[in-house]
Amino acid sequence: MAKILHGKVAVITGAGGGIGRALGLAFAAQGASVVVNDVGKSEHGDSTAHAVVAEITAAGGIAAASTDNVADWEGGRRIVECAMNYFGRIDCVVNNAGIVRDSLFFNMTADDWRAVVDVHLNGSFYVARAAAPHFRAQSSGSYLHMTSTSGLIGNVGQANYSAAKMAIVGLSKSIALDMARFNVRSNCIVPWALTPMTASAQQTTESAALIEKMKRMDPSKIAPLAVYLASDAAGKVSGQIFGVRANEIYFFNQIRMIRSVHRAEGWTAETIAEHAMPALEASFFPNVPSQTLTPWDPI
């Protein structure tokens, strides 16, 4: 039986560890040639990207390493160029690279803001944009972007991360619309998993308890959905948001108008206070951090 990604070439950013590594191994096992991108180094100073390439090739797969930085326009171009140089084509971009610089909003520095936005949002755009001409030329391709409930719902101490992750959803939606005419798809995945990035987040009593729970969420659990979305089997799936939490797969709704009020003579601040807000109030969403909406244990 042919493997579901046979003949495809995938670029996976942030693939030197955690979720990206798990995706790289799974994509290669399903027949894809993989560009493993990561700027990281091990505690011994070795390239994590090259280490994952060695794992893939030892398992009989095909992979090449890229150590370029996604947070740089030219870096994004070189990452895609790596796929073209080694494999002659590109079929999928997985925007997975990420960092955290957690801080309460009133303490957050400009450097913390820029660092996170540069990697998550700008990095996703740079690599996706670099692949776009190739996708257009071959009239096929797929994008997968890692977002987060920190963006979709909100989280304490993560204004930079939350803003970037919500913006990635907007980026994915726009790509899906703009590239549809070229048979190119774009989707988002919300991954629940304990990774070096999540483990390095600022520790509180609450987050420590969450990390203990997340230890049961192996990064490899994310891989089957990502493999499917990168495959031709997902040809009709674009502009959507999915999540994986252990053995659960989620489908997220998206922002739509859900209620309206109308006043023929127009509104004033006073009539909004007296009539509009009381009418809309029943539909307000509670302002809670994301983890309160998944209180059950992962299984």
- Verify whether residue 86 is a known catalytic residue: no
Q: Is 84 helix (H, G, I), strand (E, B) or coil?
A: helix
> Which tokens is 201 given?
């987040």
Both tokens of 185, joined, read 């798809």
Examine the residue annotation and report whether 165 is marked as an active-site residue of this protein: yes
CA nearest neighbour of 170 among 80, 293, 254, 288: 254
Which one-letter DSSP state was computed for residue 253? -
Residues in contact with 214: Cβ distance below 8 Å, sequence separation at least 6, in sequence order: 192, 193, 194, 198, 298
Residue type, 3: K
| Identified catalytic residue from 126, 161, 173, 221 | 161
Look at residues 197, 206, 296, 287 and name the one whose alpha carbon lies nearest to residue 246. 296
DSSP letter, residue 41: B
Contact between residue 145 and residue 171 where contact means Cβ atoms under 8 Å apart: yes
Catalytic residue among 8, 165, 173, 221: 165
Would you name the residues annotated as active-site residues? 161, 165
